[in-house]
Amino acid sequence: MDLKGIDAWKSEFFRLSVLDGLIRLLFGAAALAILILWADHLFSLPQFERWLLFAAYWGALAAGIHIWLLVPWLTFDWGKILDAAAHEFPQLKDYLRPAWELSRGNQDRYTSERLKQAHRERTEALLDDLPKRPVFPLRLSAAAGRLGALALLAALTLPWLKASPSWERVAAPWRDMPLEKFLRVSPGDAVLDWGKAAAITVAWTEPSVVARDRRELKLWLKGPGGWASARWDNNSGSMAGFTVSQLTSALPYYVSWRDLRSRTYSLTPAALPQLDSITATLHGPNPVAIPLNSVEPLSLRSGLWVTFKGRPNQPLAQALLRVMPAASPISAIPLKALPSGDYEAGLLVREDAGLRFELQSADGRRDPSPVLYALRALADQPPVIELLSPVIALQASPADTIPIIYRARDDAGLSRLTLLLRSRAGEREIPLQRFTGRLEFLGDHPLELAALGHGKIEFRLKAYDNAASAQSGVSQKGSIEIVDFESAHAQMENLWRKTQDRLKSLGDKQERARSLSAAQKSQELEAEQAGLAEAWKESVGLLSELSSSMERDVYANPGLSQQARELAEDLEQSRRRGLPSALASGSAGDFKEAEKMHAGLSSQVKKAARLLDEGRRLQDLQDFYTQASRMSQNADAMQSALDAMANKEGGKASSPGAMGKLSSALSRLQQQMQSLQKAIEALPQVDAQSAEAMARKTYTLALDAARQSADALSRALSQGDLAQALRQADQLSQELAQIQKALAQAAAGEEASGMARQAAERMEKAQALWSEVVGDQSQALEKTQKLGERHLGRKLQAQKELLAELSREQGVLIDTAASRGPWFPGNALAEMRAVKAEFDARQVRDSDKWLRSISASLRFLGAIQPSEASGYEWFALGEDKIRGKLEQGPAVMDETPGEESAAAARGQGDIRRKTGRLQGVLESIAAQLAPLPRAILQKVEGAQGEQAEAERALQKGDSSRARTHQENTLSLLNQGNREMSQLAGGQKNIQAALGRPFGRRATGVRTMGSGGMYGTQIGLVELPSAKDYLPPKEIRQELEKSLQENRPGSYDGIIKEYFKRIAQ
């Protein structure tokens, strides 16, 4: 049967289940979503955690749908409805479920059908009588109520999440939000001034999540090495900042906080608007453009109109020249754009002012601190002219030409320059240059001394400006003393030849004296020796006079002068020491010794004669070189004059006066070439088959070609053909330079094969051998010291063994004395024990005294007690025996020769023989090449004597005496080595001085001042030309350009210092 109304209860059950599940699902989903929003809002969850929460949220929602909506349908049970109805209607409690079972056909065989039918009827009757109310009323469950309350509480917090980015972060975790949602990044993408500071700022409001953990906020910069984190300069309050000190290249950057990051921004530097290569054009008769720079003020004459022009480095919207005078109102002059792209403005100079170019770029940028230029208004000043060279007093030959170097300048412009010359003939003004408004000039003037006569001349330079009433300026005074150096040089040459003749004669006399000594012809020897002393005195006197004359002669080779002085000193020592001994030996009949002494003196004289002969050839080459150098200088001067004339006249013929001066100069040059030709032809000829001729090298002097070029130049000058004259002058200059070069090469060859170089080389080898001898002798001394140390060790060991033996013997006497009891005196026993104590300590201090005291006291007791005398005497004899052994010492006291000592003696002999070789080398140098002080040879001889003594001592085994002689040897060798080192250095100086005149332009000019024997500094002086004073144009242009380039302000000091060093 069917129970009435039970299906309606089922509908009520499902309706209530769905409604309760939906409410639970809605409230739970809302509460969980709000909780997740707060979690992200409070903790700014990373994307990974938000993904997990997103998945968990939808998983929980799916679980709620399953549990609260699907499970009631899937697990429906009528028993729940029946129980609920029985609970709602208690009268049905005993009837409803059995009636339900019966209606479903569940039969009970123990119940009758009648009873079953009655039960169903009763149940239906009860159902019919039920009140009209639902079994499942529409009311929320407790769980739904709790979830609703939780959702309501969560919803109350939503106003605080209204503006939170967590809505989007939680709802779409795959779409990460930019960090800009939480903070502001400035300046973002920006174009800033190049080289200026740039600030990156990040700011946020207090509720921002960034404020909770500002340490996680990082700035990332991209440099050459990639992205790198940068430390904030300031990270406090509600902002963080970082400053880039100088922005010189594009700088990408972004900001990150935990897993959030901003987009990538970029700071791009842009050059400030500036004018490049600003020039100031001074308007007047001769407009001049001057580069403008901020290092030095622009000094201009008052009343001058000046225009400033420069090219902008970028398009400009506005350009002004701000003029800031010292005493007048500030004015702004617009810069006018020119078709060339430059901007220009002009002003009239009235007073000192500051100038500033204020530029605005097309995009509105300005230089906040433009470069300030200084303008200085000057009154018209007289011109300034400086004498650059020569600035000290000179002595020069009439054959010399002195280049006078000068520099002149004027604020308005120069008109002419002159030379004021004062001599014995009076004062005159020589025109030098004429100008039409030139502001500065650097030049030179070749002052020929030939026509000025001898004596002192004074000169000044004078400059005139181009003002209406011309002003002038005068330089400091210079002075030149014209000296007849040629006469002094000729006197020196005559004295040289005379000295050569006297030395040759003296050498012949010495050789005859040696031969007569060898032949033992006493009478002839006596006659020959009679004139030797006077011949030596005269020869040495002439050599000393030659040395002094060479020191005074400006043309004399400095190396030959020093060599002559040393030769004179060497021969003077021989005259004072060696000659008297030779004369005495010959007079005494000691012919062997006389022969030896005269042979040595003859060798010294011949050596001096050879050195003078060789030096004469080098001096001749130097004289030729000096003449060639003068010719080359004169040719260069002519070429410069021709070049200046050609530039001035544009290739046309110059004035007859100028051409006449050049022709006169050329005539003098031709005379100089002819003089050089005659001097070379006058050289003494040698036999073509001689050894000297075979050893010589050949050098070609193109004198004929030079004379032909000079003739061609003369013809061009007479015809007025400047172009042809320039070509011939250039060719002539090159040919004369080749002649000068060939003479220098010839002098180098002569010097390379000369005795001075050989002496320097031989001295260097001798010094090396000397150093070897010193090193070998030092090693020999060390070996001898070790021999002595080993002998001393054996001696000490023997002494210790002797003391041990004496201690045992003393102990026996002490034991015997102690056994005799009171019979033996106590004081003697105490002294015996003291002696043994010293022996045990291996010392001997008072033992000898105590032993003598013991023996004396015991014998005294034996004398006063005759009956005990024998006993006391026995002990006294025992002490005497010990004392005797102590005085005798150990058996190995004397050193005996052994194999080591013999080997040391042989080594010392080898060193002595090497020292002998050294003496032979030194004597060979002294006899053949260069004078050596006798003291050096004496030290070598003394060293060999000490070495021989040391060798004999080592053969006897006496290392102590050998060491003394070796130390003396080493002292002599070291002293001699130092003297030899100084002598070798002097010889090298001579060798260097021999070639010094050939390495530069030769003149007969010397400075006057302190120094030298006669108040002058003797030697050649290199005078500069005008081009030596002119800084390279490229450097000046580069400096001016660099000053206009953009640069950070902090670099100004560094760049200025760099420019300063370049200029210096």
Q: pLDDT digits over 919-962, tens only?
A: 888 878 777 777 777 788 888 888 888 888 888 888 888 888 88
Q: Which pLDDT belongs to residue 653? A: 52
Q: Residue 331: pLDDT above 80? A: yes
Other C-beta atoms lying within 10 Å of the C-beta of residue 258: 17
Residues in the chain: 1064
Are 942 and 972 contacting, i.e. CB atoms less than 8 angstroms apart?
A: yes
Q: Is the pLDDT confidence value at 810 over 90? A: no
Structure tokens at 694: 């075979």
Half-sphere exposure of 119 (CA within 13 A, CB side): 19
Using a 10 angstrom Cβ sphere, with 0-12 exposed, 13-18 middle and 19 or more buried, the burial of residue 585 is buried
Cα angle for residues 550, 553, 559 (degrees, 5° grid): 50
Q: Which residues contact 650 (CB under 8 A, 6 or more apart)?
A: none
**17-26, 142-151, 822-831: least confidently modelled range:** 142-151
Report the DSSP beta bridge partners of residue 354. 324, 374
Does residue 71 have a pLDDT over 70? yes
d(CA 672, CA 949) in angstroms, rounded, equals 69
Question: In the structure, what pLDDT confidence band is assigned to residue 688 with cuts at 50, 70 and 90?
Answer: low
Dist CA 546 CA 621 (whole Å):
19
pLDDT for 1013 beyond 70? no
Q: How far is CA 513 from the centre of its chain?
A: 66
The rounded distance, in Å, linking the Cα atoms of 207 and 214 is 13
The whole-number pLDDT of residue 1008 equals: 57
Which positions ≥6 away from 952 have C-beta within 8 Å? 905
Name the phi and psi angles at 282, rounded to 5.
-90, 120
Query: How far apart (Å, rounded) are the C-alpha atoms in residues 58 and 50?
Result: 12
Number of alpha carbons in the 13 Å side-chain half-sphere of residue 381 = 13
Q: Answer yes or no: are the C-beta atoms of 413 and 468 closer than 8 Å.
A: no
Domains of the chain: 6-160 (no CATH), 178-270 (2.60.40.10), 275-378 (2.60.40.10), 384-483+1022-1029 (2.60.40.10), 486-678+698-746 (no CATH), 757-999 (no CATH), 1033-1063 (no CATH)
pLDDT at 1033: 52
List of residues 6+ apart from 971 with CB closer than 8 A: none
Q: Indicate if the pLDDT at residue 253 is higher than 90.
A: yes
Q: Across-strand partners of 319?
A: 359
User: How many Cβ atoms from other residues are within 10 Å of residue 303's Cβ?
Assistant: 12
Torsion over CA: 350, 355, 361, 366 (sign): negative
For residue 1034, what pLDDT band results from cuts at 50, 70 and 90? Answer: low
Q: Scanning the structure block, which residue is given the tokens 């193109």?
A: 702
**pLDDT the model gives residue 1064:** 47
Residue-wise pLDDT for 123-149, tens only, equals: 777 777 677 777 667 677 777 778 778
DSSP conformation class of 929: T
The 10s digit of each residue's pLDDT in 430-485 is: 998 888 767 888 888 888 887 788 888 999 999 998 776 778 999 999 999 888 88
403: alpha, beta or left, given left = phi > 0 and alpha = psi -120 to 50? beta
Structure tokens at 638: 């002519």
Q: Say how far apart CA 405 and CA 1028 lie, in whole Å.
A: 10
Average pLDDT of 149-160? Answer: 80
Inter-residue contact 214 to 232 (CB < 8 Å): no
What's the pLDDT tens digit per position in 571-604?
888 888 888 888 888 888 888 888 888 888 888 8
**Is the pLDDT higher at 82 or at 1030?**
82
Place of tokens 């000397």: 770
Q: Is the pLDDT of residue 1060 over 50?
A: yes
Question: 451-465, 769-783, 812-826, 887-901: which has the minimum mean pLDDT?
Answer: 887-901
Cα 700 from Cα 604, distance rounded (Å): 36
Residues 385-409 have pLDDT tens digits of 999 988 888 888 887 888 899 999 9
DSSP state string for 6-18: HHHHHHHHHHHHH
Is residue 754 within 8 Å of 618, Cβ to Cβ?
yes
Name residue 361's beta-bridge partners: 316
pLDDT over 70 for what percent of the chain? 83
pLDDT confidence tier of residue 639, bands split at 50, 70 and 90: confident
Whole-number pLDDT of residue 1026: 44
Give residues with Cβ within 8 angstroms of 248, minimum separation 6: 194, 195, 269, 1048
Integer Cα distance of 242 and 220 in angstroms: 11
pTM beyond 0.85, yes or no: no
Structure confidence by residue, pLDDT tens digits, 532-561: 888 898 988 988 988 898 888 888 888 888
In the prediction, which pLDDT does 1011 show? 39
344 confidence band (pLDDT: 50, 70, 90): very high
pLDDT at 478: 92
Are residues 253 and 170 in contact, defined by beta-carbon separation less than 8 angstroms? no
Q: Lowest-confidence range among 131-145, 732-746, 1047-1061? A: 1047-1061
What is the structure's pLDDT at 319? 93
Q: Are the CB atoms for 817 and 824 separated by under 8 Å?
A: yes
Rounded to an integer, the average pLDDT of 273-282 is 89
Residue from 268, 250, 274, 245 nearest 1045 by CA:
274
Q: Using alpha carbons only, how large is the chain's radius of gyration in Å? A: 61
SS3 label, residue 198: strand
- Tokens 């300069």 — which residue? 233
Residue 147 contacts residue 28 (beta carbons within 8 Å): yes
Cβ-in-10-Å burial (0-12, 13-18, 19+) of 1030 comes to exposed
For the chain, the average pLDDT equals 79
Which of the pair, 998 or 964, is modelled with greater confidence? 964
Judge contact between 53 and 39, C-beta under 8 A. Answer: yes
Tell me what pLDDT residue 893 has: 46
Q: How does pLDDT run across 965-994, given as a tens digit for each residue? A: 888 988 888 888 888 888 777 777 776 766
State both tokens at 928: 């053949």
Q: What is the Cα–Cα distance from 833 to 818, expressed in whole angstroms?
A: 11
Give me the phi and psi of 895, to 5 degrees please.
-80, 130
**What's the start-to-end Cα distance of the chain, in Å?**
129
Identify the sign of the CA torsion 857, 860, 865, 870.
positive
Six token digits for residue 369: 């601190």
Q: In sequence order, what E strands does 723-821 have?
A: none
Higher per-residue pLDDT: 676 or 61 = 61
Asked whether 832 and 876 are in contact (CB, 8 A), the reply is: no
Find, among 584, 605, 608, the residue nearest to 512 by Cα: 605
- The phi, psi pair for 220, rounded to 5°, reads -120, 130
Q: Compute the distance between CA of residue 730 and CA of residue 724 in angstroms, rounded to an integer.
A: 10
